[in-house]
Amino acid sequence: MAEEMREETEAFFATTREKSEELDASRQELAENFQFLNDNLSEYQTRTEEFGIELNRLASAGDLETVARSVDLLGAQLAAMNDQLLELTQKASTTEELFQKGADGAVIEEAVAEVASEKPSDVGTTTVYFQFAGSSRELAEAISARLEDRGYFMPGEERTSIAAGKREIRFFFDEDREQAEGLMKELNDVLLVMGLKADVSLADFTNFQGAKPRRKTLELWLEPVPL
């Protein structure tokens, strides 16, 4: 009888330790979700400050239409991020209450899984600096507008002879390759619809030794050519 009680006691404590470890892991997962969102908030704040400088430059140049589009886009990004933060905070608060009340493990796991399934996405639209040559500014602005409609932040269009003959998207960090590939596909779709040659390719600048733009920033070098 004593041996049976000892085994039951050991099993009980083993189960308790296991549950405690699971709850600790769940709390850690929640903490990581909030850290992920906090990092995004910090990144967004930095990018907003940079955009503010760029918007002031555009305003000084009299490009108020681009400024207005950019402000609208930034406002939409901020609103989406605030909604995401509020939802995650509410769910995490509910989960923490379950922790404190000692709720059934299955109930807690379900609540944690709901929060974990909605890990904050990487907020902040990809920024695309557009250098163009060989076309009117109106055409370059039309291309920018269509890319903005697809969710890219286009601070403005810069005419430069260096872009002559180029049709490439430059990325400077490995983690931006996927965004660059997505932009390449969407840009070529846009160019085709506009009756322009759709052969823009990727240019890997990850080994570039000069000053690089920030992460999540791509460069478009384009001389539009009719089909």
**Spacing of C-alpha 46 from chain mean position:** 14
Task: Give the DSSP H/E element, type plus range, for residue 217.
Answer: strand 217-222
Each residue's pLDDT tens digit, 175-196? 999 999 999 999 999 999 999 9
Each residue's pLDDT tens digit, 137-168? 999 999 999 998 888 988 888 899 999 999 99
Structure tokens that stand for 164 in this block = 């002559």
Q: Are residues 134 and 75 in the same domain?
A: no
Q: Are residues 43 and 104 in the same domain?
A: yes
Q: Are residues 21 and 109 in the same domain?
A: yes
Using an 8 Å Cβ cutoff, are 92 and 182 in contact? no
Each residue's pLDDT tens digit, 40-92? 556 556 666 666 666 676 667 666 666 666 666 566 556 655 665 666 666 66
0.75 surpassed by pTM? no
Q: Are residues 79 and 150 in the same domain?
A: no
Q: Are residues 53 and 94 in the same domain?
A: yes
Structure tokens that stand for 163 in this block = 């872009």
Q: How far apart are CA 189 and CA 196, in angstroms?
A: 10
> CA separation (Å) from 31 to 23, 95, 178?
12, 12, 27
Domain that holds residue 169: 127-222
